Amino acid sequence: MGRSCTSGGHLLSFMIDLVFGNFAKGLSNHFRRILKGGQIVFGSLSVDCIVRDISATGARIQARGPFWFPDSFVLAIASDGTSRPCHIVWRKDGQIGVAFYA
């Protein structure tokens, strides 16, 4: 069953697959649509965000504050009690696609 790289919900998954070679291996990342408050944490600073989609390998987030922060940071989701180091894969229209470090 193929995936379209142009459908909105699967674009990040396709890009992460492409970057990390999973697409060629036939592996799929299943993103779960969520709407949770989070924080982009870098150093002693943090920026509020909304986590829109998440999977085991990455997430799509929407920044609430300034759209500048480092390429690598920690994505913290207080309601889940999780903090995941990640790096930016893409940025577009106030949204950011990140891949989690293994």
How confident is the model over 70-99, as pLDDT tens digits?
Answer: 999 999 999 999 999 999 999 888 899 999
65 vs 21, more confident = 65
Please list, in sequence order, all residues whose beta carbon lies within 8 angstroms of the beta carbon of residue 19, skipping any fewer than 6 positions away: 89, 99
Which residues, at least 6 apart from 5, have a Cβ–Cβ distance to it below 8 Å?
Answer: 11, 14
- pLDDT tens profile 26-53: 334 577 788 899 999 999 998 899 999 9
> 78 near 39, Cβ under 8 Å?
yes
Tell me the two tokens of residue 11.
């674009």
Say which residue, 36 or 64, is predicted with more confidence.
36
Q: How far apart are CA 89 and CA 76, in angstroms?
A: 17
Q: Quick check: pTM over 0.85?
A: no
Q: How confident is residue 57, by pLDDT bands cut at 50, 70 and 90?
A: very high
